[in-house]
Amino acid sequence: MKSSAIHIAFLLIALFAIAGCEEEDFNPTNPLNAEAGEPASGFVGHSTLLDGSQSTNTAGKPFTYNWEVSSKPTGSEISIEDPDEVLARFYGSIPGEYQVKLTISYLNWQDTDHVTVTLSDDPEPSLLAVAGEDRIQEIAEALALNGSASILGGEGFQILWENVSKPENSTVTIQNPTYLETTFSPNIAGEYAFKLTLTSGELKSQDMVKITVLESTSNQGPIIINADIIEDRTLTNVFVSDPDKLDYLVTNDVAVRGGTLTIEPGVRIGFEEGTGLVIAENASLKAYTMLTETLPIIFQGKEAQKGYWDGINILSQNPAEYLAGLEVRDAGKLGYGMQVGPGAKLFLSNSTIHLNDGIGLVFQISSQIAEFKNNRIKENTSAPLQIPAGLMPQVSVDNQFQDGAIQIIEGKILSGVDNYWPTFQVEYDVLDELVIYNGSTLVLSNGAHLNMGNDQGIRVISGGKLRILGNEFAPVIIEGKTKAKGAWRGIYINDSQGAVSSILFATISHAGGNSYAGQDPATIKLGNGAGLKMFKTTLDEGKGHGLEASATSLNLELSQNTIKNHLKNPLSVSAQVVEHLDYFNRMENNGENEVLVDGFHALAKDGGEIVWKGFEQRIPYVIKGLSKDLVVQSGMRLKEGVIIKMQPNSRIDVQDANGRLGYLRMEGIEGNPVIIRGVGEEAGSWYGITYSTNHAQNHIQHAEILHAGRPMANNFSAAITVDNVPQGSLLIQNSRIAYSGQHGIAIAKQFSDFLRTSDLTFEGIPGSDISAWE
């Protein structure tokens, strides 16, 4: 019995010895191998990742980490976040080389390694990994990894997400680890750490993020936000497994002041009735997701009702943060879903603003755009967008607008460059006068549609230019918001400084309200020094003239246009621009369907002829304005079909002047003569034509001269006079002279040879058909 007891005692001693071996390692070889990672480069002001994940313990047991700085540049300040973790973030205050020591420990064993961290002070790194903020989230099938804030300069970069720590007995799968934005699938709650590595050539940058995954809390309500945010705060996706549930509920008006509010993918924020969010001047809002289908960032009313909450008002004067993948709905109690205040700059992409009362998005005067593309703004009660004219070129054509017109406010366009307004599915309502100046150009293309507000207009001045570029099947339309004649002022072009505006395939209607210059309004009015080319365009339903171009120094070409339904004349022009009016311009159903021509300045052209072509419809020119006379001081030809109406007491004088030889040649043809007549049927109502030049081109062929030869006291009168001082000459053939006040043709008897005639017809001539005075 005693022997058995002794054996049992020895057995118990052996068992305790074996158990004690689990707490002590009698292996004389150190099982630890510390690996502090490869030399790292980073930037002052940004974290640099310290990575000890390659450290090992051959005993297969957990071990501890400790990071510390062993040397640094003189005067620098350093900090290490999570110095007892496998991954730590290092910060240094000045450029230079830092030595960081890693010590790992297990029982009584230790091992160390060093890594060199070199920091530079580049304010704009070309490669910088940013793995996102550490966060706490409820467990779900897919949780976000978001490196979208990273900086990727150049081309040929590589992206890699890696899991470096996880709960014991867990599994984790990263979906698409080579994407900046991806997801991972945890199977149990606990803490997970991920490393993001970016490489480009010899450049490398790393960052980490820790995500604490909680057990499901599906019965929990949203987190309440009821006070201003005065420091940096990150809103994470709380109810990942229930994406339709509110993560946060705003119960009072909330302003972000002095910090950055960061909102992560998948967050849903609700607002109580009448509450709103303000991003103050010294604050920022950062909300970015590219997973717009699965993890959008949503701002909504607690109840799904238009106008339920105020909306988002961005007043920040800080550099624009990324806003992408947002949905803003149920707002508008203050008239908008989102508003950008004066001086604030918006970066918005891939977002939806819909189901709001009032206007979807409002840019106030002096606000700015950093980027605005691929957004959808629809189903808002008043309009999708309200924006100053100068910002419109920064709205990308890939945006989608529906349900109402884009409202244009503050119409100054003064950038000095081309301003392209995209053509969208919706129209533009122009609520302020558009003023294009300072060498700027407004460009409207196929299908663009502008509705001009009451008494508004378009002024193109001081070197500005308007380019309207429609096509046959999609003309540009500019009309009144109120569909009535004179609803808006029209287009005024002045002082073009050599720039030439162009209008191609457009329809411009309902203009001719208050005149920009002079007494008579017009759909288009040209001031001094204006330049315009207009082709295949319709001017319609105007309250004044169609186009007025009676100023000086004009550069005008009109071809194949239609001017109709104006209360006054289709055209009112100076005599100098008549030659630039194309034969195929059409004029229909105007109050006075005649072209007014002001003869205030003499017709004089160096190095060429002046040619009046008339119109296919035989629309007459009516000489009327500051001067009702025509003075020809260089070569001039009137083509077949031209009709000129002369006012009572007016005349046509052909003269040599300033070294130019003047002549007047009428080139009618049989059945389509040139006609020069009075405005009425009264015989002798105007004085007639006086030739005071001896030029071989003074030739009248197939013409009718009617109602001229106004009687004068103590002098003779004739429809046509060939002068003797200075000497004139004329060849007139196949023509008709009728209803003169006295003679048909008059010439000094001694210079009768300077008049040659053939096949003339005289009617209603009370004096001589041809009178030769002594």
- Spans of all domains in the chain: 32-120, 127-214, 227-239+246-410, 411-591, 599-774
Four-CA torsion 418, 391, 401, 316, nearest 10 degrees: 150
The stretch 653-660 carries a mean pLDDT of: 92
Instruction: Give the number of residues written for the chain.
Output: 774
Q: Is the pLDDT of residue 126 over 90?
A: no
Tokens 């289709």 appear where?
Answer: 570
The stretch 67-91 carries a mean pLDDT of: 92
- Comparing CA positions, the residue from 486, 434, 488, 429 lying closest to residue 465 is 434
* 3-state DSSP percent of the chain in helix, strand and coil, to 5: 5, 45, 50
For residue 693, what are the β-bridge partners?
none
For residue 706, what are the β-bridge partners?
738
- Output the pLDDT for position 8: 40
Tokens 């624009």 appear where?
Answer: 320
pLDDT classification of 20: cutoffs 50, 70, 90: very low
In whole angstroms, what is the distance from residue 186 CA to residue 145 CA?
Answer: 12
**Regarding the domain delimited by 411-591, which CATH topology (the fold level of the hierarchy) does it fall under?**
Pectate Lyase C-like (2.160.20)
Sign of the torsion angle spanned by Cα atoms 133, 138, 139, 144:
negative
| % residues pLDDT > 70 (the chain) | 96
What single-letter DSSP state applies at residue 661? P
- Output the pLDDT for position 218: 60
Q: pLDDT, tens digit, for every residue of 535-547?
A: 999 999 999 999 9
**Regarding the domain delimited by 32-120, which CATH topology (the fold level of the hierarchy) does it fall under?**
Immunoglobulin-like (2.60.40)
Q: Is the pLDDT of residue 463 over 50?
A: yes
The stretch 255-264 carries a mean pLDDT of: 94
What stretch of H or E contains 549? strand 545-549
Q: Is the pLDDT of residue 21 over 80?
A: no
Q: What are phi and psi of 593, to 5 degrees?
A: -85, 60
In whole angstroms, what is the distance from residue 540 CA to residue 547 CA?
Answer: 11
Report CA Rg, the chain: 43
In whole angstroms, what is the distance from residue 23 CA to residue 26 CA?
Answer: 10
pLDDT classification of 27: cutoffs 50, 70, 90: low
Alpha helices in 615-684 (DSSP H): none
The stretch 375-391 carries a mean pLDDT of: 98
Q: Is the pLDDT of residue 67 over 90?
A: yes
pLDDT classification of 392: cutoffs 50, 70, 90: very high
Four-CA torsion 160, 161, 162, 164, nearest 10 degrees: 130
Q: Is residue 308 within 8 Å of 301, Cβ to Cβ?
A: yes
Q: What are phi and psi of 146, to 5 degrees?
A: -130, 105
Q: Is the pLDDT of residue 234 over 80?
A: yes
**Greater pLDDT, 654 or 219:** 654
Q: Is the pLDDT of residue 16 over 70?
A: no
Q: What are phi and psi of 684, to 5 degrees?
A: 65, 35
For residue 705, what are the β-bridge partners?
676, 737
What single-letter DSSP state applies at residue 405? P
The region of weakest confidence among 28-37, 120-129, 180-189, 216-225 is 216-225
Q: Is the pLDDT of residue 4 over 70?
A: no
The stretch 413-433 carries a mean pLDDT of: 97
What single-letter DSSP state applies at residue 176? S
Q: pLDDT, tens digit, for every residue of 334-378?
A: 999 999 999 999 999 999 999 999 999 999 999 999 999 999 999
What single-letter DSSP state applies at residue 423? P
Q: Record the pTM.
A: 0.76
* Same fold for the pair 32-120 and 411-591: no
- Output the pLDDT for position 133: 86
Give the CB-side neighbour count of residue 708, counting CA atoms within 13 A. Answer: 30
In whole angstroms, what is the distance from residue 136 CA to residue 237 CA?
Answer: 8
Q: Share the mean pLDDT of the chain.
A: 93
The region of weakest confidence among 79-83, 153-157, 189-193 is 153-157
Q: pLDDT, tens digit, for every residue of 285-302?
A: 999 998 888 899 999 999
The stretch 439-463 carries a mean pLDDT of: 98
Tokens 């001031």 appear where?
Answer: 527
Sign of the torsion angle spanned by Cα atoms 767, 768, 772, 774:
negative
- Comparing CA positions, the residue from 608, 667, 596 lying closest to residue 634 is 608
- Output the pLDDT for position 109: 93
CATH value of 127-214 in 3.40.190.10, 2.60.40.10, 2.40.110.10, 3.90.550.10: 2.60.40.10
- Give SS3 for 455: coil
In whole angstroms, what is the distance from residue 670 CA to residue 641 CA?
Answer: 10
Tokens 């339904």 appear where?
Answer: 565
Q: pLDDT, tens digit, for every residue of 669-717?
A: 999 999 999 999 999 999 999 999 999 999 999 999 999 999 998 889 9
Q: pLDDT, tens digit, for every residue of 162-217?
A: 999 888 888 899 999 999 999 999 988 889 999 999 998 888 899 999 999 887 76
Q: What are phi and psi of 262, to 5 degrees?
A: -105, 130
In whole angstroms, what is the distance from residue 332 CA to residue 356 CA?
Answer: 5
